[in-house]
Amino acid sequence: MTSSDLTRNQQVVLKALSGSNVPLSAYDILDLEQVRDQGLKAPLTIYRALDKLQALELVHRIESLNAFVACDHGPHSEPVGFMSCDRCRKTIELPVGACEDVLRSSAKANGFKLDRITVEVSGRCTDCVEGT
Ligand SMILES: [Zn+2]
Ligand SMILES: [Zn+2]
């Protein structure tokens, strides 16, 4: 999978996310001049591109923020969680393989059928901790 296999809209959206150091919502993306200049003006267009980019593991959705980030090392199939800074919104990918094992085994012990695991941690990043 190379970026040349993406449609033009998908490339525009991926570039917008890669260029941002904070997660962006679909409407944040739509508001960017670089995106509007490319003729992307409808939310549905952005959502479609985001859906495809997520399926390709190039973009992740941060559920608690309802926003998206470009993956910094994708595509990958291993599960990831996120640490988001409450102050500057910087978001860092967090490998959660070991954590997932714990959750899966306790779900199993409780007879719970687990479909999806979301790990999102909030707090303050190094820069923001040092700034206080
Ligand atoms: Zn990733
Ligand atoms: Zn911060």
What residues of the chain score a pLDDT lower than 70?
Answer: 1-4, 132
HEC letters along 74-113: CCCCCCEEEEEECCCCCEEEEECHHHHHHHHHHHHHCCCC
φ, ψ for residue 21, nearest 5 deg: -95, 5
Q: Does pTM surpass 0.95?
A: no
For residue 109, the CA-to-ligand 1 centroid distance in Å is 29
Please tell me the number of the ligand nearest to residue 70's CA.
Answer: 1
Please tell me the number of the ligand nearest to residue 130's CA.
Answer: 2
Domains along the sequence of the chain with CATH: 3-70 (1.10.10.10), 80-130 (3.30.1490.190)
pLDDT digits 0-9 by tens, 6-26: 999 999 999 999 999 899 999
